Structures are given as structure tokens and as C-alpha cells.
Amino acid sequence: VHNETSTGVTSRVADVRAALGDHDALLLVDTISSLASIDFRHDEWGVDVTVGGSQKGLMLPAGLSFNAVSAKAVEASKRARLPRSYWDWTPIIAANQAGYWPYTSATNLLYGLREALAMLREEGLENVFARHARHAAATRAAVRGWGLEVLALDERELSGSLTAVMLDGSDAVRRLILERFDMSLGAGLGRLQDRVFRIGHLGHFNDLMLAGTLAGVQMGLKLAGHDVGDGVGAALEHLAG
Amino acid sequence: VHNETSTGVTSRVADVRAALGDHDALLLVDTISSLASIDFRHDEWGVDVTVGGSQKGLMLPAGLSFNAVSAKAVEASKRARLPRSYWDWTPIIAANQAGYWPYTSATNLLYGLREALAMLREEGLENVFARHARHAAATRAAVRGWGLEVLALDERELSGSLTAVMLDGSDAVRRLILERFDMSLGAGLGRLQDRVFRIGHLGHFNDLMLAGTLAGVQMGLKLAGHDVGDGVGAALEHLAG
Amino acid sequence: VHNETSTGVTSRVADVRAALGDHDALLLVDTISSLASIDFRHDEWGVDVTVGGSQKGLMLPAGLSFNAVSAKAVEASKRARLPRSYWDWTPIIAANQAGYWPYTSATNLLYGLREALAMLREEGLENVFARHARHAAATRAAVRGWGLEVLALDERELSGSLTAVMLDGSDAVRRLILERFDMSLGAGLGRLQDRVFRIGHLGHFNDLMLAGTLAGVQMGLKLAGHDVGDGVGAALEHLAG
Amino acid sequence: VHNETSTGVTSRVADVRAALGDHDALLLVDTISSLASIDFRHDEWGVDVTVGGSQKGLMLPAGLSFNAVSAKAVEASKRARLPRSYWDWTPIIAANQAGYWPYTSATNLLYGLREALAMLREEGLENVFARHARHAAATRAAVRGWGLEVLALDERELSGSLTAVMLDGSDAVRRLILERFDMSLGAGLGRLQDRVFRIGHLGHFNDLMLAGTLAGVQMGLKLAGHDVGDGVGAALEHLAG
């Protein structure tokens, strides 16, 4: 998983590839919440299968998913013995070569994708990645300003697309923020339930949306009785820096 | 003018009506930037002609305008000698009585209006007015926090839909905020040019949008070299109060 | 009026201009239902004021109107003594020179206009005019096929954007077609009331839409008890010719 | 397959169920191109698994799919040994019970679905089915009028949502109709390639759309050199009957 959505931790995919050495295993990467938000290099990093989706960094509704596959993965797929039909790449690759799709296409999402790609190219992918990294850094400045801690520990693995914040009793805060400010924060999952909340900052998102987001979190924390500092001020200082 | 858009000052229309006494003059009120944002009472306040538009508190694109007219105004209109055609109420009133409009209707805006009215009723007009008043008060708290002054002087005339802030050299700040944060603030008009900027807070607008707006203003002021205090913090305190 | 919407008769504007000779009168032309559907030449034909709108050949909702004005018209406007404000060209021309509009703009319609103009250029204006002329001719073939008559008498004045068809008792047919086939035909106006119905064929319109339209008229005529011939067949023959 | 899209033949599902007798087999029915267009009764007909989609009779873009499952099917699913993850009903049924979906939802399609269901209820499902059956009968009248034959042989299996028409060399006609009239007809598939073309008449569709559709087919057939009769006239007679 390139960007782990429940924790806000990214994987160092190139290092994983290096660690694999000449092992025969395929390297499969889920980029659902990183594609078009955090730099990712399918070919350069030697990934065998990359899975992406339309509903995060590509700024579209859910409904399109993408696979990038290496020759080695295609070979392995041909030898695989798990029965499959819709997930089978063979008819898709054959149809793609003629510019088609073997099943009913989500045509209107393809029009949306064309526009999303035009927007990304207009801003420039490097700038898109830098914008996400900057928003993540401003969010972490807010977290420090509140006197709270980010879940991710390793500086090299901090997510550009979302930030998980440690807070016991986070579910009550999330509920209050939803009711009072109409903003939905991500919940902690599994053993992190009620112990973290998650702030998303990806896709079609700018400085003032982030400022509004962090203001909602700060007001919600205070209203829920948490004695937090001025995270918003710290974030604004970062954003204006 | 019920809400003077260039200054953020409201008129006390009922007082104006009282001051008119039994004078024969018609009372005409422009509610373009107050309708559905600030309480207004055409009948109760004895207004003769109220003019409203679709593009502010009704949350629609520009394209629809409304007149509420008293019997006295209709009478006066019949006696008026200014030649007119499109502005003539006679064919409009006649067509309205059968549920029609004498010219080409902006049909799609009428569908939008139906939805806008449903949204206003769902929230409740009293709540809508209170929301605007609260956002205006939070904005003024921010202005005080920045160490700046609001243009309007009389407590009874503070606008709920926009706030004009005194600042010499405001145009450079507005330009910087537009370029850096993609947010367009209102300019000072006439002799207020470059001496005020205006913050709109009306229509489909909530606490976090206001927080983002004020954050953009604060960052812009600082980036333009103005040594301002923490207006955002003051506004958040008001909003969470 | 370049295209008279209630009768389906066009004016030979160039001939009108020629007939004016060196008379001082201004030539004002209403192109509401012809602009971008029927060839019109403001400069070449020596028109002083052309009025157009967004809601017909430009394929947009109602809400934008356009004036093309000659130098002579601007001069006359300056000398005119009718009081005016919104209709005054002076502030509009001044604002236009800087790329602005002196009042609140219908911004979303301007985006629509940009796309409409792109569509017209893509098809080519000559092709757009030819398409409308061809649809008008096919409609007249249908009218002849039904054994009915077109209102317009002069071959040189047949409208490309709509066709008025003579029929006593047309209102009952129109009502039946609206109820049964969900299609709204234009009514006869003034002394043509209940004596003609009007078929529009302009804007974003193609052969099969016209075929469906004419099929609805033919079925409606028959259902209303009119013993008409096979107009649809005649129109299809024209369209496939 | 309740409605076989490539042939325009429906299956008599209740008869299939009866023929199964007390055999243990599950009855799985694909209703992709029949759901909300042709009467279908999951419970009454004893179907075990019904599969539907959003992109046909529900008048939505592709992107939603539905399963109706019998208790017997759920049981069988639990015993099945084919490895599966996304296709596994267990987490879906569990999440559904709390009103949720275990994966990312296509939220905007769900809003569309709510409106589509409201439209179907407003018209009345019986009326929706009758409308499709009537359009199918009118289409077959056109086919007979052209002197051609429908592919389906059994009166009890004629599809209400599409009609396949026998025609050697159909691909050239389809191409001509696409280029000349901007209308895309379905191709013959498999051994029917170039031997049938298919006319769809389902979803948000009315008499005049069908008339335009059939007019396009008739003109295309003639332009391609096929000596056909007046199918459109026959269809209009049926529609107005």
C-alpha cells in the first residue's frame, strides 16, 4: 500500500523493491489514496502491478479503477489457476489494443477523467505533489500547535494526502464536528478505533480549504472539552511562509 | 438601499418609513444584497417597491429579478409619464395573474429558485438571518483582532451579508490574496477606492467557509506587510461560543 | 425583425437598407430567432443596431442579450432625450473597452456562450445555416404532404428557424400533441390565434429530432380528426435526398 | 438471461423455474437489459440470484450493480469454495444491515438512483412496462413495413427493450446511419455479425424519440440501397392507435 489510508503512513516502495532483491515475488502496489497526490513511479521503481482509482487524487466520483501491469505480471497472470472472469486481464488488454473496453464503459467518468488529467497537467504534476506535501506539513504544524501527535513515526513515511492524529475519545469529537460544522473526519479503524481521527487533504484542495478544515477541527476539539493550543495559527504561519 | 453593498451599512427601513410620515413620496427599497440574508418586511414596513435579485441570498446565478409593489406604487406607475416598455408592470401583472410571464422566461433559473426556496424553508428564515448575523459578528471580531476597523459606525446598521474593512492600500492586499489564495475580495468604490476591502459572507455559507475566508485575509494582510493580530483566532472563539 | 417568430417570415434586411436610400433613419434589426441560425450581416448590410439573445440559435438558456451598434447609432444615442439608465450604452461601451461589464455579469452563461461559439465554429457557420435551411425545406415538404399550407407566401422570405402552418382549430391539435406526445408547438398569435401552429427547428437540432417532431405533428393531426397525408414520408425523402 | 441483449429474445423465467422442478440447481437471472423495462418477479418466480445494473432501464450511467439473493443462494455461497473477496456477499450483507456498504460507495449514482426510482414510481411500473411493450410492438410494425424480419421467433419471447432485425450486410447500414444521422445502432454479435442490427427502445424514451429512431433507420436503409417499404408509417399508425 503506497499510502495507507487508515494511518497516514506511506510505504517506501523503491526500498521494498530493493529489499526483494532477485526474489521471484511480484510487487503489487495499491495507490488508491496516493495516485496523482504523492509521487509514484511504476516503471522506475520496478512495480509489477499498480492499482489506482478515480475517487481520490483524480478528483472524480468513484467508478473507474486502473491497473498498470508489468510483462512479468501478465505472464504470471496467464499461469495463475484461480478461476476469474471480470478480473481477467486478457480480454481487457486485447480490447485496449483496439482502443476499446470489453464491458460497458463508464463513459461519463471517462469525460471527467480527461478533464481531471488536463487540470493536473495544467498545474504540473510536480506542483501537485508539492501542494499536497505542503498541506500535509501545515496540518502537522496544526497538530503540534494543538499539543497532539501524528500517528506516523518515521519522517520518511509521512503521508501527503491525509494525516492521522492521536486522540483518545476521537469518535465523540468527530461526531460533534459533523453535527456542528457539517465536516466529516475519518475515523480510527481496527485497534485505532476511537484513538485517532484522520484529516484528508488531497485532490481539488487549496490553502483556504485547509484553513477552514483545521479551524473546524480546532473548534470541535475545544467544544469537546480538549484543552488544545492554536493549531490553526501554526498552520497559517506555515502556509504563509 | 436596504444593504449598501459598497459599505456594509444597512438602512433602517422602518425608521425611514416613519420619518416619511404622511408625505406622498413612494418608498423604494433595493434588497439585492439583503434578500434572504437579512430580515426584510415589505408589507409590515410599508414599502412601496422592493427590488430583489437571484444572485445573492437566493444562491442562484444572476438572471432573475423581483419586484414587490404596493397598490400605491401600481397607481403611481399608471400615472407616470416616463416612456417604458420592458420595465412596464402592466403586462407583467396581467400575465402573472394567469401564472405566466409576458416575455421569454429564464426557466432553468425558476427551477433553481424552487430549490433555493426549499433550502431556505428547510433551514428556517429566522435561522438563515441568525446565521448571517453570527457570521457578520465573527467577521467583526476578526477585524478587531487584526487591529483594524469596520467602515460602518452605527451598531444598528451593521450588515449581516458583508463587512467593509478600513485599510489604506487595500487594493494591493486584495491583489495578493487573489493571486496567492484564489480568493476575490470586494474593492472599495468611489472615494473609498484603495481604502477599504469587503468580505462577503452571505448565501450558501457556513462557519468553516468563513474560517477559510478570514484565514485568507489574515495571511494576505501579513504577506503584504501589515502587522496584524490574530483575527482568525478571535473569529473562531466567536463561532465556537 | 429579421425572423418574425410568430409567422415564420424573414425580412430581406439588405433590401430594406437599399430602400432607405440616403434617408437619415436608423435601421434596427431584431435577430432574436435568427442569430446563428440564418445568415445575417450587420456590417455588410449597413444595419445600425442589431439585437440578439442567447436562447435560440446560440443554444443557451435565456439571460444574455447582445447589441451590435454602428457609429451612427452611438451618435444618435448620445443625442437621444429619452431618460434611460440600464439601457444606456455609454457605461457598457466604456466598461467593455477594459473587458468588463458595468453590472453583475451572468458569468455561467458566458461560459456557456464560449462553448456554444466553439460548437458553431466547429460545424462552420455556413453549414449551420445550410442545416437550418434544409430542415425548413423538409418541414415544408411535410406540410405539403399533409395537404396543408405554410403561412409565408414569398419564397424569398421563408424562415430557416421555424415554420408556421395554417390550420383552423390549431389550438386543439397543439393541446392534444402536448398531452399525448409531450411536445409543445408554438401557438398562433393575435389574429392568427387558433389559425396556425408553429414548428421550431433551430439551434441544437438534427435530422432525427426533426423526424420525431414531424411524426408527433402528423399523429396529432390524425388523432384530432384531420385527414392528412404522409408528411413525414415526404420530409424523410427530402432529408435523405 | 431475462432479456438477451444480442438477440432481443426474452426468457420465460417462470417456465424455466417450473422446468427445474425439485432439482437442487440455483436459478440465476441476468436482468441487466430488462430491469425496470420488462416485468420481472424475483420472489414470485422463485429466482435465487438476480443481477441488475444501473445503466439501462434505471436511466443512470453505468456504475451500480445489484444482486437480489434467495436464502438458498446465500447458503450455497457460504459453502462455495471458489476464493473470492470483492464478490463475497458476506461483508456486503453485514454492512447493508446497518445501512452501509463495505467499500467506497458511488454516492452520486445513489442520488441519481433515488431520482430514477421516483420517476418510475411516478409513471407507475405497470405503465413503464406497457410503454416498453408498446414501443417494441411499434418497432416490429416498422420492421414488417420495411419488409424485413425480426430475429426472435417465439411470440412469447419478444423483447420490450430492444429489437434485433435480420439484414445481411447490416454493418454497412449501421456505419452509414452513424455517420449521416449521428445514431448508433447495436451490431450483430458472434455468428450474427453483419447479419442483424439492433434497435434499443428502453429507459427514458418516448413515442417521438422512437419515431426519430425509426426514421433514421429507414433513411439509412434506403441510402444504403435497400429497397424497403414505409416502416415509419406503419409504426406511427401503431403509436397513434
Whole-angstrom distance, CA of residue B29 vs CA of residue B51: 6
Q: Does B90 touch chain C (CB under 8 A)?
A: no
Test mutation, D51, D104, D111, D184, chain A, max A CBs within 10 A: D104
CB-count burial class (<10 Å; 0-12, 13-18, 19+) for B15: exposed
Predicted pLDDT at D168: 97
Q: Does B106 touch chain C (CB under 8 A)?
A: yes
pLDDT-derived band of residue A79, with 50, 70 and 90 as boundaries?
A: very high
Strand partners, B212: none
Query: Which residue type is seen at A27?
Result: L
Q: Which helix (H) or strand (E) holds B162?
A: strand B162-166
Nearest by CB to C240, from D208, D209, D219: name it.
D219
Own/partner long-range contacts of B170-175 (Cβ < 8 Å, ≥24 apart)? B170/B194, B170/B195, B170/B196, B170/B197, B172/B224, B173/B197, B173/B220, B173/B221, B173/B224, B173/B226, B174/B220
CA distance to partner chain D, nearest, from residue A64 (Å): 9
Nearest by CB to A106, from D62, D82, D107: name it.
D62
Across B192-207, average pLDDT: 97
pLDDT-derived band of residue A32, with 50, 70 and 90 as boundaries?
A: very high
Cell numbers at B192, concatenated = 473609498
Per the CB < 8 Å rule, is C181 touching D207? yes
Across B101-123, average pLDDT: 96
What residue spans of C50-97 are helical by DSSP H? 71-79, 89-97
pLDDT-derived band of residue C158, with 50, 70 and 90 as boundaries?
A: very high
Q: Does A109 touch chain D (CB under 8 A)?
A: yes
Predicted pLDDT at C97: 95
B–D contact (≥3 CB pairs within 8 Å)? no
Predicted pLDDT at D236: 98
Q: How far from each other are the two terminal CA atoms of chain A, in whole angstroms?
A: 32
Test mutation, B104, B108, B111, chain C, max C CBs within 10 A: B104
Across B53-73, average pLDDT: 96
Q: Strands (DSSP E) along chain A, which ranges?
A: 3-4, 9-10, 28-30, 49-53, 65-69, 149-150, 162-166, 186-187, 196-200
Across C40-69, average pLDDT: 97
- Residue C10: phi, psi to the nearest 5? -100, 155
Name the residue in chain B with its Cα closest to that of C62.
Answer: B106
Per the CB < 8 Å rule, is D233 touching C236? no
Whole-angstrom distance, CA of residue B184 vs CA of residue B196: 14
Spell out which residues of chain D touch residue C134, defining contact as CB-CB under 8 Å: none
Place of cell 442490427: D197
Across B29-43, average pLDDT: 98
Per the CB < 8 Å rule, is D55 touching A109? no
CA A59 to chain centre: 12
Nearest by CB to B62, from C55, C83, C105: name it.
C105
Whole-angstrom distance, CA of residue B39 vs CA of residue B132: 10
CA distance to partner chain A, nearest, from residue D61 (Å): 7
Residues recorded for chain D: 241
Name the residue in chain D with its Cα closest to that of A105.
Answer: D62
Task: Compute the radius of gyration of chain B from its Cα atoms.
Answer: 20
ipTM of predicted complex: 0.95
CB-based contacts of C75, cutoff 8 Å, min separation 6: none
Q: What is the pLDDT of residues A55-74, one digit of tens each?
A: 999 999 999 999 999 999 99
Predicted pLDDT at B200: 97
Whole-angstrom distance, CA of residue D52 vs CA of residue A149: 47
Strand partners, A136: none
Predicted pLDDT at A74: 97
Q: What is the pLDDT of residues D60-114, one digit of tens each?
A: 999 999 999 999 999 999 999 999 998 999 999 999 999 999 999 999 999 999 9
Sign of CA dihedral C20, C22, C28, C33: positive
CB-based contacts of B231, cutoff 8 Å, min separation 6: B141, B142, B143, B144, B145, B146, B148, B214, B217, B218
CA distance to partner chain C, nearest, from residue D110 (Å): 27
Q: Does D55 touch chain A (CB under 8 A)?
A: yes
Q: Does C61 touch chain B (CB under 8 A)?
A: yes
CB count in 10 Å sphere of residue C117: 12
Predicted pLDDT at A70: 97
Task: Determine contact, residues C64/C110, Cβ cutoff 8 Å.
Answer: yes
Whole-angstrom distance, CA of residue C60 vs CA of residue C48: 25
| Cα–Cα nearest to D214, from D151, D157, D136 | D136
Q: What is the pLDDT of residues B11-22, one digit of tens each?
A: 999 999 999 999
Sign of CA dihedral D18, D22, D25, D27: positive
Predicted pLDDT at D64: 94
Strand partners, D29: D50
| Cα–Cα nearest to A34, from A16, A64, A62, A56 | A56
State the count of interchain CB pairs (< 8 A) between C and D: 72
Across B174-201, average pLDDT: 97
pLDDT-derived band of residue C166, with 50, 70 and 90 as boundaries?
A: very high
Q: Does D53 touch chain A (CB under 8 A)?
A: yes
Q: Among residues of chain B, what percentage have pLDDT more than 70? A: 100
Q: What letter would DSSP give residue D8?
A: T
Predicted pLDDT at D12: 97
Strands A3-4, B28-30: parallel, antiparallel or unpaired by DSSP?
unpaired
Name the residue in chain A with its Cα closest to that of D63.
Answer: A63
For A159-178, give one letter per residue: b (16+ CB within 10 A) or e. bbbbbbbebeebbebbebbe
pLDDT-derived band of residue A118, with 50, 70 and 90 as boundaries?
A: very high
Per the CB < 8 Å rule, is A207 touching B219? yes
Predicted pLDDT at C134: 98
CB-based contacts of C62, cutoff 8 Å, min separation 6: B63, B104, B105, B106, B107, C53, C54, C55
Which residues in chain D show pLDDT less than 70?
A: none
Q: Which helix (H) or strand (E) holds C2?
A: none
Across A164-179, average pLDDT: 98
State the count of interchain CB pairs (< 8 A) between A and B: 70
Q: What global pTM score does this model have?
A: 0.94
Q: Does A53 touch chain D (CB under 8 A)?
A: yes
D–A contact (≥3 CB pairs within 8 Å)? yes
Per the CB < 8 Å rule, is C107 touching B62? yes
Query: Which residue type is seen at C69?
Result: V
Per the CB < 8 Å rule, is B61 touching C104? no
Name the residue in chain B with its Cα closest to that of C104.
Answer: B62
Sign of CA dihedral D115, D121, D124, D129: positive
Q: Does C71 touch chain D (CB under 8 A)?
A: no
pLDDT-derived band of residue C68, with 50, 70 and 90 as boundaries?
A: very high
Those chains having 3 or more beta-carbon pairs within 8 angstroms of chain A are B, D
Strand partners, C187: C197
